[in-house]
Amino acid sequence: MPRREVSTTGMRWVTGLAIASLLAAFVLLLLPDGDANVRSRRSDGYSRSALGHNGLIRVLRDIGENVVQRRSMRARETGLLVLAEPMSAIADAQSDHLVDAVDLARETLVVLPKRREVRTVPSSPFDDDPSWVRGTELIPRLDVQSVIADLPIEYDAQPEIERFDEVSSWRAFHGLPQPVVVPPVQLMERQDGVDPLIECREGVLLGLVDGVYVLSDPDLIANHGIGRGANAALVVGILRFLNDDGGAIVFDETVHGHISEPDIFTVAGTFPAVLVSVHLLLFCALVAFAARGRFGAPVPPPPAIASGKGFLIDNVAALLRRGGHHGHSLRRYGRLQTRRAAAKLHAPAGLDDDQLVDWLLAHAPDRDAAEELRDLLSQRHSWKSPDDTVAHARRIRALTETIHHAS
């Protein structure tokens, strides 16, 4: 089928869709990453509830710390690894991942759990709000102890956990401020293998246990406690001390079940990365639409020599124009017009060109026209331009026709 050209309306549509596609790509660049869409009310780094740690992460980022929330099971070298309130049950796959993560981290901080959400209280308008929890309850002390046992960390002696309604005589390393913890305060017992950094008379709040730092009470980093007293300054001081090499502070969210290991096809189908897929499909559609006028059999090239008298006349005229022989053409044309007019007036046979001119002019009733024609036929026109030549040819034709019709 013959090739179809794309219409002006079609090109406007193509241009408009291309602009819309570019704008979509620009908007995609401005959108937050996928972690911003994770909603939780549990004790993890995405939760804005009282139990979550989102407030601490935002504080660290606001002061310029390099904070990463890792959801991948692929461990990489980090400055400080934070396992904040891990789930009570660690799967085997997670356990292998945590072993590698702890080995690749320069320092590791384990924050033990203390509270969890309870749904036995009456419902409220905030039940569907991820920033709120209905209520909280203490995790049984034995469950906290089991979390210590489930972590893939080898202790010479696992620290024992105790809770106290009142504590006294806080001592913090490097002159850090004293903690403010909502009772009951969850502490580690003093024992061999526990090197205290923050302690009180009743026990150890932060200690080094067989090469791993353990924070026994999470109220310091939880959203409900980070703003109490000088807890924010205390936690920032702790993290900066543990991360003295200046590497990334990595909060491992896989311990809360936030595991994301999608392949490229899964990512391409989820928001906001799906906008990239739509952008590429739209681009392909635009290319196909713009190329649709080129489908079908190719149009054969025009022949080198066209048929018909028109082409021959145009070709001869072009050659004459290019060769500059229009003066000769004008003289030849004048002779032909003179002979044609003389033949119509029944001139005698056997006369040459000059004799025909003289005979024709002698029989011309209009002497002025005859003199003008004689002057045009006697001139040499090789020096004239093509436009002057055409004008002279038209005048010769007009004069010969005047003489013929007047006779």
User: What are the structural domain ranges in the chain?
Assistant: 32-267, 309-406
Question: Regarding predicted confidence, which is higher, 107 or 371?
Answer: 107
* Architecture field, domain 32-267: 3-Layer(aba) Sandwich (3.40)
Rounded distance between C-alpha atoms, residue 372 and residue 392, angstroms: 11
Choose between 386 and 139: higher pLDDT. Answer: 139
Dihedral, 103, 105, 111, 113 alpha carbons, nearest 10: -50
What is the CA 216 to chain-centroid distance, rounded?
A: 45
**Which pLDDT score, from 0 to 100, does residue 1 have?**
42
Please indicate whether residue 5 or residue 356 has the higher confidence score (pLDDT).
356
Residues 110 and 153 sit within 8 Å (Cβ to Cβ): yes
Nearest to 111 by CA among 259, 260, 247, 239: 239
Torsion 123-124-130-136 (CA) sign: negative
Per-residue confidence at 374, pLDDT binned at 50, 70, 90? confident
Is pLDDT of 276 > 80? no
- In this predicted structure, the answer to whether residue 2 has a pLDDT above a threshold of 50 is no
Phi, psi angles (nearest 5°) of residue 70: -95, 130
Section 280-298 average pLDDT = 69
0.75 exceeded by pTM: no
Q: Of 372, 364, 380, which Cα lies nearest the Cα of 396?
A: 372
Find the farthest-apart pair of alpha carbons in the chain and give their distance in angstroms, rounded. 149
